[in-house]
Structure 1
Amino acid sequence: MNQMHSAPTVSGHNAVLHDAVRPQWSAEVISWLLGSPLLGQRLEVLDLGVGTGLGTRSIATLGHSVTAVDTDNDMLSVLRKVSEELSHGGVGLITAANGSAESIPLEDESVDAITCLQAWHWMDAERATFECDRVLRQDGMMAMGWHTWDRTSEWVNGLAAIIEPDGPPDDQTRSVPREFAGRGIFERKDFAFNYELSVDQLVKLASSWAFVAQRSDQNAVLAKVCRLGDQLESSDGLVRFPHITAAFRLQLPSKDLVG
């Protein structure tokens, strides 16, 4: 029989919690987002709205230099600390900078690629698009991605019934612009994966979601999530949370070929 867990009382979410429980970004997904660069090809990448840099670290581990931009200094402080502990392949390749997609702290045409993971729906699309277009080099890659729940899964729907009493939230992937500065159409690819975590981690993950943290009955909701996790826990002590990473990329043509 699986061990029963008790749901902790959690107040809000913070940078350390976010970093500990949110899913990582695989090398496969990141490589595709960057345009599947050749082995040994090193890119200058801008990562926007990075939070604690879960995607940033994957970019650096692949050997690319990356400027990580966010407005939250607490999130960036976690990234800076963790960056010091990266494997040798990613050491020294990350620069964390305070800024936003609407005001990017980089020079014109200074990066080969831009990634924006779990964040574009928070941006002012018109201003952010202008800024991204400004800092991208010719033939640069613009990429966005979201980890989404696999709602074909019965247990995901059971989780949704607990924490989404008013139905699912808006589809964040709809914020992807069909055209980028009038210069192209995004290509989409979905990557399925199971996010493996313990029951305690599942509860902490749920507590990190703003739509749970802001509820007046948060502790009761987390107790239900805990019971669901107990039911689904495998013999190895893990719950497998079905996800789909929705990935989008657009290679922009040379600016002198436009218009």
Structure 2
Amino acid sequence: MAASSRAHSFNSAAAQYEASRPSYPPALLDFVEEFLRRSLAGIRVADVGAGTGIATALLCERGADVIAVEPGDAMAVQFRRVLPDVSIVRGDGNALPLADSSHDLITYAQSWQWTDTTRSVPEALRVLRSDGALAIWWNTTAFDVPWIRAQHERIAHHCGMPPRPAGRPDDSEAIRLAGLTGLRVARRQIRWQRMVPLDTHLANISSRSAFLVLDQAANRAFLTEEHRRLRQNFPDEVLEETYVVDLLVAARP
């Protein structure tokens, strides 16, 4: 399946995405502030691939002056519903609709992988002020939690994809994979949890691009079986999702 098709698949589930996707722990933006050596309050931020505004809302809560950049029609509509007072423009990370040297921070929450880093890195540097920074992060799977690892393997099989290795790349490999070689980069991995109803957990899973491009009848059958399986382990139908945020913050050398 082409990456572009998967990237735009979220438009078919924008409301579900907004309702079920996890947010991020406060320590994430604490580390960004530490890297910048200043508070986010009052600085100009572009949140690229903003989706429904999950990360944008956190940046706004810190007092940042945020503009969102989002390519998807339905995601942008959902964003405006959730954050009506925040500016949003249409575009993507490969060609930012922003002026040169206009922002202190550019963020990509769960969206850097949809860019071509040979284009998105120069674009970020073009838009950033000389002392600005680029922050990219993902909520990644906590493979050391047995039920989460087992579920990941079932999902990978359902989606026709190989399971991801349990280990994580070291810092140099993570920087290389992100296309940030040659920049000054700091990495932080932050473990956190949230308690959610079983139905929210399953809605979160089915809002992923690998699911959205599949046959929906097959997805419903998988999710029905997954509900039955998880209810055996979590009879109150509330479970703890564990994540490890993988955060890279980069600036000019």
Q: TM-score range by the shorter chain?
A: 0.7 to 0.9
**Cross-structure match for 1:18:** 17
Q: Match of 1:223, as an amino acid?
A: T
Give secondary structure in 2 for the equivalent of 1:161. helix
Question: Which residue of the partner structure matches residue 244 of structure 1?
Answer: 244
Q: Distance in 1 between matches of 2:83 and 2:94?
A: 25
Q: SS of the counterpart of 2:101?
A: coil
TM (normalized to structure 1)? 0.81
Whole-Å separation in 2 of the counterparts to 1:213 and 1:42:
37
Give ranges in structure 2 of 5+ residues lacking alignment.
1-10
> What is the Cα deviation at residue 232 of structure 1?
3.4
Secondary structure of residue in 1 paired with 2:184: coil
Are the counterparts in 1 of residues 25 and 192 from structure 2 also a CA contact under 8 Å? no
Deviation at 1:45, TM superposition (A): 0.5
More displaced, 27-36 or 151-160? 27-36
Aligned to 1:168: 163
**What is the correspondence of 1:113-124 to structure 2 with a 5 Å cutoff?**
113-124=105-116
CA contact (8 A) 1:13 1:207 kept: no
Cα shift at 1:162: 1.9
Corresponding residue for 1:33?
A: 32
| Alignment partner, residue 233 of structure 2 | 232
Q: Is there any run of 5+ residues in structure 1 with no aligned partner, and where? A: 1-11, 85-91, 254-259
- Per the alignment, residue 74 of structure 1 pairs with 74
Whether contact under 8 Å (2:106, 2:135) holds in the other structure is yes
Query: For residue 179 of structure 2, what is the amino acid of its counterpart?
Result: P
Task: Say whether 1:140 aligns with 2:132.
Answer: yes
Q: Do 1:162 and 1:225's aligned partners in 2 also have CA atoms closer than 8 Å? A: no
**CA-to-aligned-CA distance 1:148-197 (integer Å, 9 cap, x gap):** 01001100122123211143259896641242xx3x23211111011321
What is the RMSD computed on CA atoms of the aligned residues? 2.3
CA contact (8 A) 2:36 2:132 kept: no
Check the 8 A contact 2:45/2:104 in 1, yes or no: yes
Q: 1:248 to 1:40 in 2, by over 3 A?
A: closer
Q: How many equivalent residue pairs?
A: 230
Question: Is it true that 1:42 corresponds to 2:42 in the alignment?
Answer: yes
Q: Equivalences for 1:93-242 in 2 at 5 Å? A: 94-165=86-157, 166-169=161-164, 175-179=177-181, 182=182, 184-216=183-215, 217-233=218-234, 237-242=237-242
- The one-letter amino acid of 1:205's match is N
Offset, 1:209: 1.7
- Asked whether the equivalents of residues 121 and 179 of structure 2 are also in contact (C-alpha less than 8 Å), the reply is no
TM-score, structure 2 normalization: 0.82
Q: Which amino acid aligns with 1:233?
A: F
Residue 17 of structure 1 aligns to a residue in which SS?
A: helix
Alpha-carbon contact 1:202-1:229 (below 8 Å) kept: no
Query: Cα distance 1:62–1:44, how it changes in 2: closer, same or farther (>3 A)?
Result: same
Moved more, 51-60 or 35-44: 35-44
CA gap 1:155/1:65 in 2 versus in 1, 3 angstroms: same
User: What is the one-letter code of the residue matched to 1:102?
Assistant: N
Q: Which amino acid aligns with 1:32?
A: F
One-letter code of the match for 1:55? A
Matched-pair contact (CA < 8 Å) for 2:69–2:91 = yes
Instruction: Using the TM superposition, give the Cα deviation of residue 17 of structure 1 relative to its aligned residue in structure 2, in angstroms.
Output: 0.5
Task: Decide whether aligned partners of structure 1 residues 195 and 13 sit closer, same or farther in structure 2, where only a CA change above 3 A counts.
Answer: farther
- Separation of aligned partners in 2, 1:37 and 1:185: 14
Amino acid in the other structure paired with 2:15 = V
- Higher share of residues assigned helix: 2
Spell out, residue by residue over 1:235-257, the C-alpha distance to the aligned partner (whole angstroms, 9 max, x if none).
5x52101110001112325xxxx
Moved more, 156-165 or 63-72: 156-165
Task: Provide runs of 4+ in structure 1 moved above 6 Å.
Answer: none
Residue 39 of structure 1: CA displacement?
Answer: 4.9
**Of the two, which has the highest radius of gyration?**
1
SS in 1 for 2:132: strand
Asked whether the equivalents of residues 33 and 248 of structure 1 are also in contact (C-alpha less than 8 Å), the reply is: no
